[in-house]
């Protein structure tokens, strides 16, 4: 079954939220509504949406502060944000974009425009949702159904791992440096540290399991590669130069004594 793109609406005015939700639902999206910053945070902690529609003026924490916080957080920084705002002047628009919003819509807006902008950020930020089936070896990924299958077994992947795998599979057998992966998978969020890539590669390998996980190779000093030709049971030999060898002979039996 095709998974509908989910949209989190953060809006304190029920009439506007309802209008947006109805239109999204009728156009193949799955909307969720949060009426303040606290419930928006709860929604986001529970599940990451594909897009966030974020009202600027909220009771308590403003939409602008929320956007900044979500952009600074490793888990939420890649979720596209469209700001909804009654403020139309240029400094406000710039402040919204500076806070990390991908786009903004000035109230009152047409629902057609809103839908067009939601689709546009989805296209820009998640191009894999537009594509089709890609296969490398026994591993296949279908971006229209969001499914990853290895040896006829469906695997569960998080959104970032899915994007990362999609990129590696569509550029298989090539080595990609961490900064290239950041650029291609995470896009314009250049302030993400390179070790974030390592964390997601680790998660991706875990999600793929022992066999498919081997397809993602670490190329020392260069980056990562996805390959159909895994080196089965061939652990690389690590040669330790004499200069850094421990001069004291190891006494492994000491470790066996346990706490005393």
Q: Tell me the CB-side half-sphere exposure of residue 42, using CA atoms within 13 A.
A: 8
> At CA 207, angle to CA 206 and CA 212, rounded to 5?
80
Q: Decide whether 12 or 142 has the Cβ nearer to Ca ion.
A: 12
Is residue 55 at the binding interface for Ca ion, with CB under 5 A as the rule? yes
> How many residues line the site for Ca ion (CB under 5 A)?
3
Within 9-28, which residues bind Ca ion (CB under 5 A)?
Answer: 12
Q: Binding mask 126-165 vs Ca ion (x if CB under 5 A, - otherwise)?
A: ----------------------------------------
**One-character DSSP codes across 88-123:** -SHHHHHHHHHTT-SEEEESS--HHHHHHHHHHHHH
Task: List the beta bridge partners of residue 172.
Answer: none
Q: Decide whether 55 or 128 has the Cβ nearer to Ca ion.
A: 55
Cβ at position 13, least distance to Ca ion in Å: 5
Cβ at position 5, least distance to Ca ion in Å: 24
Cβ at position 59, least distance to Ca ion in Å: 8
Q: Among 19, 57, 97, 106, which residue interacts with Ca ion (rule: CB under 5 A)?
A: 57
φ/ψ of residue 177, rounded to 5? -75, 165
Q: Decide whether 84 or 182 has the Cβ nearer to Ca ion.
A: 84
Q: β-strand 81-85 against 103-106: which pairing, if any?
A: parallel
Three-state SS at 153: strand
* DSSP assigned state of 78: T
Cβ at position 57, least distance to Ca ion in Å: 4
Q: Decide whether 57 or 134 has the Cβ nearer to Ca ion.
A: 57
Cβ at position 84, least distance to Ca ion in Å: 8
Cα separation, 208 vs 149, in Å, equals 9
- Which residue ranges make up the site for Ca ion (CB under 5 A)? 12, 55, 57
């Amino acid at each position: 079954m095709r998974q509908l793109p989910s949209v989190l609406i953060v809006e304190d005015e029920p009439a506007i939220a309802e209008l947006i939700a109805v239109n999204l639902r009728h156009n193949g999206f799955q909307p969720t509504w949060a009426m303040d910053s606290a419930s928006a945070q709860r929604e986001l902690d529970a599940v990451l949406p594909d897009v966030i529609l974020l009202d600027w003026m909220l009771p308590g924490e403003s939409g602008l502060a929320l956007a900044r916080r979500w952009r600074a957080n490793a888990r939420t920084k890649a979720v596209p944000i469209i700001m909804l705002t009654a403020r139309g002047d240029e400094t406000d628009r710039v402040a919204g974009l500076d806070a990390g919003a991908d786009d903004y819509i000035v109230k009152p807006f047409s629902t057609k425009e809103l839908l067009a902008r939601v689709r546009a950020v989805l296209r820009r930020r998640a191009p894999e949702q537009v594509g089709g089936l890609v296969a490398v070896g026994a591993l296949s990924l279908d971006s229209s159904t969001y499914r990853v299958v290895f040896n006829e077994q469906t695997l569960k992947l998080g959104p970032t791992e899915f994007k990362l795998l999609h990129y590696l599979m569509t550029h298989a057998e090539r080595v990609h440096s961490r900064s290239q992966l950041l650029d291609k998978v995470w896009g314009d969020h250049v302030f993400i540290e390179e070790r974030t890539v390592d964390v997601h590669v680790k998660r991706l390998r875990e999600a793929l399991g022992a066999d498919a996980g081997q397809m993602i190779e670490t190329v020392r000093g260069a980056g990562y590669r996805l390959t159909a030709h895994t080196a089965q049971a061939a652990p690389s030999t690590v040669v330790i130069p004499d200069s850094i060898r421990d001069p004291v002979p190891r006494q492994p039996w000491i470790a066996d004594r346990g706490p005393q």
